[in-house]
Structure 1
Amino acid sequence: MNEPVLRVKKLDHTVGVRRLFESLDLEVRAGESVAIMGPSGSGKSTLLSCILGLVRADTGAVEIAGTDITALRGAALARHRSRHIGMVFQFGELLPELSPLDNVALAALLAGVPRHDAYRQAGALLAELDVPTASSSDHMSGGERQRTAVARALINSPALLLADEPTGALDTETRDRVAELLFSMPARHQCGLLVVTHDGAIAQRADRTLSLLGGALSATNSSGTGAR
């Protein structure tokens, strides 16, 4: 059994007078994909923010690659996040003036990878994900931008890949192609994948699907279709 790359233990968090999480537990292992669904306002995006270390819960632990990030601050937290977490956003969040190659290489350069190695690795990932050469990411299709975003998230070989509504802005055909690619990543790169989505067709591709409701996570299926 692969080791957990993410462990959330007994997470409690209150926003105003509302208790958003109550003793919430979550585990994702290397090579596994997990999808989280839930109504708007249930706390899905806040949970991702807690896992990224952008929001600090009131109590509980968030272990990424064996380290409890709730004990980290400042540069140490940023360094651990850069080394061990990759993030794919709904709209890609690429720098439009940069090429796909530059967008992906930049993430490696910021992590301290030498320039030659950063561009070599970026080129290899973009080729693997079938991203065409372009002078600017602003001129790419939605699917091409999301594939570039996946490459950027993978460039530092993270233990954990996070995705927040990664197909929400795509048409159905493009959505399915991007989803197939995304859910193949745990097996291809031996990372854990955690996806937050409103789309049941996307969630069913995961090995496990969980529902966030009432401050806790519960299983909605024992095993998804996966992307093996």
Structure 2
Amino acid sequence: MAKSVLTVKKLDYQVADRTLFKSLELDLASGSSVAITGPSGSGKSTLLSCIMGLIRPPGGTVHVDGTDIAGLRGAALARHRSAHIGMVFQFGELLPELSPRDNVALAALLAGMDRRTAYTKAKELLSELGVPDAVSSEELSGGERQRTAVARALVNAPALLLADEPTGALDAGTRERVADILFAMPGRYACGLLVVTHDPEVAARADRVLTLADAALVPAGSR
């Protein structure tokens, strides 16, 4: 049986007078993928922030790879996040002045990996994902930058891979190639993949599609 890499139970969260989550539940196992859809402002990105420990909800628990995020603070939280969570943002969020290899290796170095191993792993991942050598990441196309972001998210072999609108800034052809790569990751690296997206075609690639509506996650199409 695949182990659970993410377990969210009875999560509550409000912003001002709006209830974003009420007893929200989510479970994700290694080797599988979940896509979360929902209207803008429904709380999808906020949920990712809760999973990363950037927001601490007043109620409920979030376990990432068996550890309760709420029980961690400061450096301990940062170490757990770096070791167990990989994040892919909509616009890549690369350091433009650094090469693709430097961007990927930096994530490993910050996690405590030795320099030689970090650069070796970065080179291997970028080669596997088809990212060309470049002096700076500014030279890359949009799709190449996103593939670099995927490599950076994977370099520390995380149990959980998160992606926030990872294809939202890409053209149709590039979107398909990046989505192909992203949804192949759970099977290839035995991680869990959680994707937040407005794109129904991207969401349909996931093993499960959930909608965030009325402060809860429900199977897509059930409401």
TM-score range relative to shorter protein: over 0.9
Q: Tell me the equivalent position of 2:218.
A: 218
Spell out the pairing of 1:1-228 with structure 2 (5 A cutoff): 1-220=1-220
1:226 is aligned to none
Give, in whole Å, the separation in 2 of the partners of 1:17 and 1:91. 31
SS in 2 for 1:170: coil
Deviations 1:50-105 (A, max 9, x none): 00100111111000000000111101100000000000000000000000000000
Aligned partners of 1:56 and 1:213: how far apart in 2?
21
Aligned residue pairs, count: 222
**Is the 1:91–1:169 contact (alpha carbons within 8 Å) kept by the matching residues of 2?**
yes
User: Post-superposition shift, 1:196?
Assistant: 0.1
Which secondary structure does the structure 1 equivalent of 2:54 belong to?
coil
Determine the C-alpha separation between the residues in 2 that align with 1:35 and 1:185.
Answer: 14
Where 2:220 maps in the other structure, the secondary structure is strand
Report the 3-state secondary structure (helix = DSSP H, G, I; strand = E; otherwise coil) of the residue aligned with 1:98: coil
In structure 2, the CA distance between the partners of 1:18 and 1:221, relative to structure 1 (3 Å rule), is closer
Residue 221 (structure 1) shift: 6.8
Q: In structure 2, what is the Cα distance between the partners aligned to 1:134 and 1:56?
A: 39
- Structure 1 gaps of 5+ residues are 223-228
Question: Any stretches of 5+ residues in structure 2 without a counterpart?
Answer: none
d(CA) in 1 for partners of 2:26 and 2:111? Answer: 27
Moved >3 Å (runs of 4+): none
Percent identity over paired residues: 69
Q: Match of 1:106, as an amino acid?
A: L
2:121 partner amino acid: Q
Equivalents in 2 of 1:7, 1:126: separation in Å? 30
Listed one character per residue, the Cα deviations across residues 97-141 of structure 1 (whole Å, up to 9, x for unaligned) are 000000000000000100000000100111111111000000100
Aligned AA (1:7): T
Distance in 2 between the 1:72 and 1:59 partners? 16
Partners of 1:208 and 1:221 within 8 A in 2 = no
1:184 is displaced (CA, Å) by 0.1
What is the TM-score normalised by the length of structure 1? 0.96
**Distance in 2 separating the partners of 1:214 and 1:65:** 28
- Following superposition, the deviation at residue 18 of structure 1 comes to 1.2
